[in-house]
Structure 1
């Protein structure tokens, strides 16, 4: 999801900048989730200095108002004299009357450990930089040094992509790199290995054993090597190291967030409690971003804006194609079986192709919705069930279709990604959607490229998956004998009704019956619910085509409607062998080439 670190910003890594902004952060009050932060900005030439808290975070596209967690702000000059501060907006502190130097101090409250926010407690200081440190926009090219006053009594160490200076001080060549550099202070375990003269390391903060850490790092290693094979090489990490910052602790919130030379991985699942298998998918997704998004960068995200939402129409490719590779890489690395991989495709497939949202937006337009859905919050009800498909999922199933379509021409998506990498990512030339279209035309032929983009990117068409799947020995089928009602419910605690908890999908039996979210289904055909009965079990007594009388309550008023169950629109995706069909030797070989299995 981000970078904010353009090719020209990268050049500034090599430039020695005279002025340096300095920060210091301390953690005396961790039990109450507070940090004390001091910063100094010197050699100032402007009369009024604007200090801001970011409204966005690298990798996110929605607004996140970090200023709400800042208090106790004070500014002084080099002699300790208090300076005048006024607030023109909620995100900004303007300081005047300085003598060329401004020292600031403030308190930060932080208690969410994920890929966007910061969390401070007795277990760690989990720091996302935009959520933690104020900055001066006009000084964005200055070098930055930050000192982390670690809690030695808690055995904290420091893991970050920031280059080491000395002691507990680290540096960033400019503001962009600083904001893109999450940092973990905790009693973590550090594992590393070297590949192609580059250091890959895992800073693992967890409550498990050393043996678990070794086993998990072996999985991480396999993922790294499998993804390297897609592109043929690793990126040139700016300081020679890539770091996975993993917090698998009960107080974390599940997330993953890529950065230029590191990634954050958070989960409440310990390695001993399912995390060994379930957390590795996030590793696969986020490390793929080291190429796709971090260096193969949409032009619409350059430069990254810390003061407004960042919108891009390319997220179906940046996030979606990355999502396609997430589980494919696990299969190629031997971490899941071909059967698990193929059957696991059904979830995204059903979500995308049974959604009515495609009548409203194509993949580019779905990508535009990111500022409203990417961990964004709102209090008013929305109709996302009918109007939105995640660009992660949409792009993933389109990546699958493109890969299988290319393989019918003895081409493949890996080599197309290599081409995009060579033309854009390796040279750090941001791309447009037109660039992707042109490259696909070059790689697979103009007719093929135009057909894919015109039908499936600029429009919302559905590829012929039945034929595509059969080419690799996979069967796509629908369960036409299973009734579909079209509502999602939760049983009332008193057992006297089931509340519809989502907007019914357009065209579903529930929608056509004019049922709505919030309605309470009292009974169907006057058959009462049994004590403790699950709603799914209750529905098993009704069949496709039955004309059912639904008694329900809306706003306290009793109502009745008629509902006719339809055949289920959901698909199953299975290996041919599992439905008593024998794939040919040629088909088996094509599947092995796709999944890279023996």
Structure 2
């Protein structure tokens, strides 16, 4: 008891001493009305900053969630350090991300300009959901704050105030607390730099919706340049998956507020990075997607949201010291990307089957696809080692976190269900780890496997992790699936709806003369494609009534896929060269080989029509539900997949 009282007394003295001494705080100002040459001017006034000697100011080299070195300081120019009289102080700029101010004691203000990363001419393009956009013409600004605001060395844990002047018609969507402002300004305040980086802002014409998910208020803000998509239209797509995730997490979310910030690129135009996607944050997620009709992008939003929203569990509530004390200049990676990204991806798929949003067959097909894709990555590289080295020598292996990482999550789930006879799985393990750690308490990387044993009560789980995650033994699909009454085979078949009539992996090519995609090989045409009338060499001019080019193929086919169901009537307009007899074709080819001129083959337009149907397709790593199973197998299957539905039930 005395020790406790002494400890409390010491804490009180420490607090009093801290309260008496002023502590540094950052006060930033930005004016969105003053864009010049696609650049914003940023002003920083450090408050109560009793600096002595040399000062170092930084913008991040890397930020959490990106797993790429981006060097955000390279977008800064005209950096100035000023004293109280407005006189410039000497500044050195030793590398992309740092500025050194020799006379730190005289510093009163810092000013610099920052260009956005979305339309830069610099190399090493930043993935758009992690970057910045300054578009005064269309009045849309994207602040991923690590690309706008910096910090002083060892001073990341100080409070930040961000004051932004803006046009009256713009709304700043963010998960940050707005503490003040008026009709044309906002003032935000966060506890430290980590919280600032964790809360992007999107300024655009107000198009918002707020939904209630349990006790949490969820904001949806959408920027659609043509107005085709409204936030209210996305509510019906996002809310069901969030409600399902709440149920999956035990009925209560670990956050009381959340923001979906959705930027849509007009006309399906490619982003500078060539990719669309999203970046997760603790209380928000930022999306860069291609614009289309609301119904067309709904499935994309739903699928991406399912993954990003699950990050409220990890790394928000379960994370290592490497993340909790993230070093923005010399980042050190955790060895547990299987947890942060892998289990998140698995949960995003698993929640949908367990909450009856998709069929059991659909879920198993997703897992089979991940198995097949994971085969393309290194087999002799422990996943923990890949995680630690994904910024450098194993950078090309990082995408495997969404494949092998998710499969690790699946196998842990099955292993726990088998050990507990169905009573305990990865859902419960994650909830127990979150209770033990939570937002403010990180775990030590080297101790996680022991902590998994501590919360689950199963020493076997550590042995599993050492073999298959810290080691290179293949995941035991056969034995785990067998316990759940599921047949696993290296080579098998699955039945699925044919969307194209051919397998694009090997069945799609390009005709440079016509500039069109084409059916490249008849052996990849499936039964539906044969009924439709597709032939090898057919050039695809229109798909489902839309002109089809290599540039807009992703947008057109994504739009089509969102509407496609069994029985849907598909129309495909193809350009087809005239058919010659085998004898005439051989004669023509001989003339070509001899270098003689031949007349080009006539080309005609052919309109093909057919109703979508299911077909049998070959599948590596096939997973199929067994009809004859024991009571024990059925118990594990039901515990794992819940009260699942079958594909036929989905259509009904």
TM-score bucket (shorter structure): 0.7 to 0.9
Which residue does 1:370 correspond to in 2? Answer: 390
Which residue does 1:514 correspond to in 2? Answer: none
Alignment of 1:456 with 2:468, yes or no, is yes
Change (3 A) 1:109 1:79: same
Q: Secondary structure at the match of 2:487?
A: strand
Q: Secondary structure at the match of 1:297?
A: coil
Which residue does 1:593 correspond to in 2? Answer: 639
Q: Secondary structure at the match of 2:403?
A: helix
Q: Deviations over 1:189-246 (max 9, x none)?
A: 2222334543222222235769853342233223333333344364654xx4222222
Q: CA deviation at 1:587?
A: 5.1
Moved more, 219-228 or 206-215: 206-215
Whether the 8 Å CA contact 1:315–1:392 is kept in 2: the answer is no
Alignment of 1:90 with 2:70, yes or no, is no
Quick one: distance in 2 between partners of 1:175 and 1:37? Answer: 16
Quick one: distance in 1 between partners of 2:44 and 2:332? Answer: 27
Aligned match for 2:180, one of 149, 153, 166? 166
Which residue does 1:406 correspond to in 2? Answer: 416
Q: CA deviation at 1:399?
A: 1.2
| CA RMSD, Structure 1 to Structure 2 (Å) | 3.7
Taking the TM superposition and a 5 Å limit, the aligned residue runs for 1:230-269 are 230-232=248-250, 234=252, 237=255, 240-250=256-266, 254-269=276-291
Aligned match for 1:314, one of 315, 319, 336? 336
Q: CA deviation at 1:172?
A: 1.5
Quick one: distance in 2 between partners of 1:37 and 1:597? Answer: 55
Q: CA deviation at 1:307?
A: 0.4
Alignment of 1:351 with 2:373, yes or no, is yes
Alignment of 1:136 with 2:113, yes or no, is no
Aligned match for 1:41, one of 35, 39, 46? 46
Whether the 8 Å CA contact 1:212–1:271 is kept in 2: the answer is no
Q: CA deviation at 1:274?
A: 3.1
Q: CA deviation at 1:313?
A: 0.7
Whether the 8 Å CA contact 2:382–2:472 is kept in 1: the answer is yes
Quick one: distance in 1 between partners of 2:508 and 2:414? Answer: 37
Which residue does 1:419 correspond to in 2? Answer: 432
Give the number of aligned pairs.
497
Change (3 A) 1:461 1:593: same
Aligned match for 1:430, one of 413, 425, 443? 443
Alignment of 1:394 with 2:404, yes or no, is yes
Change (3 A) 1:468 1:223: same
Q: Deviations over 1:121-150 (max 9, x none)?
A: 124111111111132224333322111222
Structure possessing the higher radius of gyration over alpha carbons: 2
Which residue does 2:115 correspond to in 1? Answer: 109
TM-score by length of 1: 0.73
Which residue does 1:150 correspond to in 2? Answer: 166
Moved more, 274-283 or 124-133: 274-283
TM-score by length of 2: 0.68
Q: Deviations over 1:289-326 (max 9, x none)?
A: 11111220123333101102331111112211111111
Quick one: distance in 2 between partners of 1:198 and 1:388? Answer: 33
Quick one: distance in 2 between partners of 1:205 and 1:336? Answer: 29
Q: Secondary structure at the match of 2:67?
A: coil
Quick one: distance in 2 between partners of 1:145 and 1:475? Answer: 57
Change (3 A) 1:480 1:230: closer
Quick one: distance in 2 between partners of 1:369 and 1:217? Answer: 39
Whether the 8 Å CA contact 2:30–2:41 is kept in 1: the answer is yes
Aligned match for 1:443, one of 436, 456, 461? 456
Whether the 8 Å CA contact 1:207–1:270 is kept in 2: the answer is no
Whether the 8 Å CA contact 1:62–1:373 is kept in 2: the answer is no
Change (3 A) 1:99 1:389: closer
Q: Deviations over 1:61-111 (max 9, x none)?
A: 332111221112222222222222222333222224466443222221114
Change (3 A) 1:203 1:458: same
Taking the TM superposition and a 5 Å limit, the aligned residue runs for 1:577-592 are 581=627, 590-592=636-638
Q: CA deviation at 1:438?
A: 4.0
Q: CA deviation at 1:268?
A: 1.9
Which residue does 1:341 correspond to in 2? Answer: 363
Which residue does 1:70 correspond to in 2? Answer: 76
Quick one: distance in 2 between partners of 1:373 and 1:181? Answer: 30
Q: Secondary structure at the match of 2:317?
A: coil
Quick one: distance in 1 between partners of 2:254 and 2:474? Answer: 38
Q: Secondary structure at the match of 2:378?
A: helix
Q: Deviations over 1:404-453 (max 9, x none)?
A: 2222232322111122112223662324343334423652522x224312
Quick one: distance in 1 between partners of 2:259 and 2:224? Answer: 16
Change (3 A) 1:305 1:18: closer
Q: CA deviation at 1:160?
A: 1.8
Quick one: distance in 1 between partners of 2:132 and 2:443? Answer: 30
Aligned match for 2:326, one of 304, 315, 324? 304
Change (3 A) 1:312 1:100: same
Q: CA deviation at 1:28?
A: 4.1
Which residue does 2:244 correspond to in 1? Answer: 226
Gaps of 5+ in 1: 1-11, 377-383, 496-529, 535-567
Whether the 8 Å CA contact 2:220–2:231 is kept in 1: the answer is no
Change (3 A) 1:436 1:72: same
Q: Deviations over 1:549-592 (max 9, x none)?
A: xxxxxxxxxxxxxxxxxxx992233444xxxx455677556444
Quick one: distance in 2 between partners of 1:366 and 1:260? Answer: 24
